[in-house]
Chains A and B, each alone.
Chain A
Amino acid sequence: MSQPFRRASGGRIDRNRPLTVSFNGKTLEGFAGDTVASMLLASGQHLAGRSFKYHRPRGILSHGSDEPSALLSVDWRHDRGPGYRDPNNRASVVEARDGLVVKTQNHWPSLALDIGAVNDLLSPIFVAGFYYKTFMWPKRFWDKVYEPIIRKAAGLGEAPEYPDPDHYANRHAHADVLIVGAGPAGLAAALTASADASKRVILADEGAEPGGALLNDLTSTIDGQPAMDWVEDAVATLDGRENVILLPRTTGFGYYNHNHVCLVERVSDHRADAPEGLARERLWQVRARQVVLATGSHERPLVFENNDKPGVMLAESLRAYVNRWAVLPGDALIVVTAAASAYRTALDAKAAGMRVEIVDIRLGADCGPELAAARDAGITVRTGHTVIRALGGNRVGALVVAPIGTDGSIGPKLTLDCDCVAMSGGWTPSVHLFSQSRGKLAFDTEIDAFVPDKSVQAERSAGACRGLYDLGAVLADGFAAGSDAIGGAASPQPVEASAAFTGFQPVRVLPSDADPSRIKAFVDFQNDVTVKDIKLAVREGFESIEHVKRYTTTGMATDQGKTSNMNALGLVAGILNRPIPAVGTTTFRPPYTPVSFGALIGPARNELFDPVRKTPIDGWAAQNGAVFEPVGLWRRARYFPQAGEDMQAALARETKAVRSTVGIFDASTLGKIEVVGPDAAEFMNRIYTNAWNKLKTGGCRYGLMLREDGFVYDDGVVARLAENRFHVTTTTGGAPRVLRHMEDYLQTEWPDLDVFLTSITEQWAVIALQGPKARDVLEPFVSEIELSETAFPHMTVKTGSVCGVPCRLFRVSFTGELGYEVNVPADYGEAVWTTLFNAGQKHGITPYGTEAMHVLRAEVGYIVVGQETDGTATPDDVGLSGLVSKVKPDFVGKRSLSRPDMVAAGRRQLVGLLTKDPNEVLDEGAQVVKDPGQPIPMKMIGHVTSSYRSENCGRSIAMAMIDDGRARIGETVFATTPTGFTEAVIAPAVFYEVKGETADA
Chain B
Amino acid sequence: MLDVNLASRAPALAPRSSDAGVTVAPLGPQGRLSLRIKPAALGDDTAIDGFDLSGPINSRRSAGDGAATRTALRLGPDEWMLLCPADDVEERSEALAAALNDTAHSLVDVSHRDVSFVVAGAEADSVINAGCPIDLALAAFPVGAATRTLLGKAEIVLTRLAEDRFTVTSWRSFAPYVQGFLVEAARHQL
Residues of chain A touching chain B, judged by Cβ–Cβ distance below 8 Å, are: 167, 169-174, 200, 267, 277-279, 282, 285, 287, 602-604, 607-608, 610-616, 619, 633-634, 674, 676-679, 754-756, 758-764, 780-783, 801-805, 824-832, 835
Contact = CB atoms under 8 A, between A and B. Distances in A.
B85 to A, nearest CB: 15
Interface string B1-19: 1101111111110000000
Nearest to B129: A172
Contacts of A170: 130-131, 185
B87 interface: no
B61 interface: no
Given A603-B152, A608-B152, A804-B4, A831 B10 contact: yes
Given A616-B172, A762-B112, A825-B112, A604 B11 contact: no
Contact of B153 (A169, A610, A780, A802): A610
Q: Which 10 A-B pairs have the closest CB atoms?
A: A804-B5, A613-B173, A756-B106, A676-B106, A756-B36, A611-B177, A831-B7, A754-B104, A827-B9, A826-B112
Contacts of A762: 112-114, 171-173
A608 B181 contact: yes
B29 A677 contact: no
A612 to B, nearest CB: 7
Interface string B26-69: 00010000101010010000000000000000000000000000
25 contacts: A167-B184, A169-B130, A171-B126, A277-B187, A603-B185, A604-B153, A607-B177, A608-B180, A610-B153, A611-B177, A614-B173, A614-B176, A676-B36, A677-B104, A677-B105, A677-B106, A756-B36, A756-B105, A763-B111, A781-B2, A825-B111, A826-B112, A827-B11, A827-B29, A828-B7
A277 B105 CA distance: 50
Given A608-B181, A608-B184, A756 B78 contact: yes
B7 A278 contact: no
Contacts of B104: 677-679, 754
Interface in B136-188: 137, 140, 152-154, 171-174, 176-178, 180-181, 184-185, 187-188
Given A762-B171, A763-B110, A826-B12, 6 more contacts: A167-B184, A172-B133, A603-B152, A676-B106, A677-B105, A763-B108
Contacts of A611: 153-154, 173-174, 176-178
B135 interface: yes
Question: Which of B2, B12, B137 has the most chain A CB within a 10 Å cutoff?
Answer: B2
Interface residues of B, number: 54
Contact of A760 (B8, B110, B137, B178): B110
B83 interface: no
B12 A616 contact: yes
B94 interface: no
A781 B137 contact: no
A804 B7 contact: yes
A678 B181 CA distance: 41
Contact of A803 (B4, B11, B154, B173): B4
Question: Which of B36, B137, B173 has the most chain A CB within a 10 Å cutoff?
Answer: B173
Contacts of A835: 6-7
Nearest to A285: B133
A103 to B, nearest CB: 29
B83 to A, nearest CB: 15
A613 B5 contact: no
Contact of A826 (B108, B130, B172, B181): B172
B146 to A, nearest CB: 18
A801 B4 CA distance: 9
Contacts of A282: 188
B132 interface: yes
B49 to A, nearest CB: 18
Contact of A758 (B11, B106, B112, B126): B106
Contacts, number: 163
Contacts of A756: 36, 78, 105-106
Contacts of B134: 172
A781 B184 contact: no
Contacts of A676: 36, 105-108
Contacts of A200: 137
A763 B7 contact: no
A764 B112 CA distance: 7
Nearest to A268: B188
A607 B184 CA distance: 11
A218 B6 CA distance: 81
A282 B184 CA distance: 13
Contact of B137 (A174, A763, A825): A174
B130 A603 contact: yes
A781 B4 contact: yes
Contact of A634 (B129, B173, B188): B173
A604 B153 CA distance: 9
A287 B137 CA distance: 13
B109 interface: yes
Contacts of B154: 611
Contacts of B113: 759-763, 826
Contacts of A603: 130-131, 152, 181, 184-185
Nearest to B13: A614
Nearest to A802: B4
A99 B137 CA distance: 40
Interface string B101-124: 000111111111110000000000
A604 B152 contact: yes
Question: Which of A679, A763, A780 has the most chain B CB within a 10 Å cutoff?
Answer: A763
A607 B126 CA distance: 22
B8 A171 contact: no
Contacts of B135: 174, 287
B1 A832 contact: no
Contact of B7 (A167, A614, A803): A803
A674 B106 contact: yes
Given A173-B129, A762-B113, A803 B9 contact: no
A831 B105 contact: no
Contacts of B133: 172, 285, 287
Contacts of A802: 4
Contacts of A608: 152, 177, 180-181, 184
B5 to A, nearest CB: 4
Question: Which of B105, B181, B188 has the most chain A CB within a 10 Å cutoff?
Answer: B188
B9 A828 contact: yes
Nearest to A277: B187
A429 to B, nearest CB: 32
B174 A763 contact: no
Contacts of A633: 173
Question: Which of B108, B137, B181 has the most chain A CB within a 10 Å cutoff?
Answer: B108
Contacts of B140: 174
Contacts of A830: 10
Contacts of B36: 676-677, 756, 758
Contact of A805 (B7, B174, B176, B180): B7
A160 B104 CA distance: 62
Contacts of A801: 4
Contacts of A607: 177, 180
A763 B109 contact: yes
B137 A278 contact: no
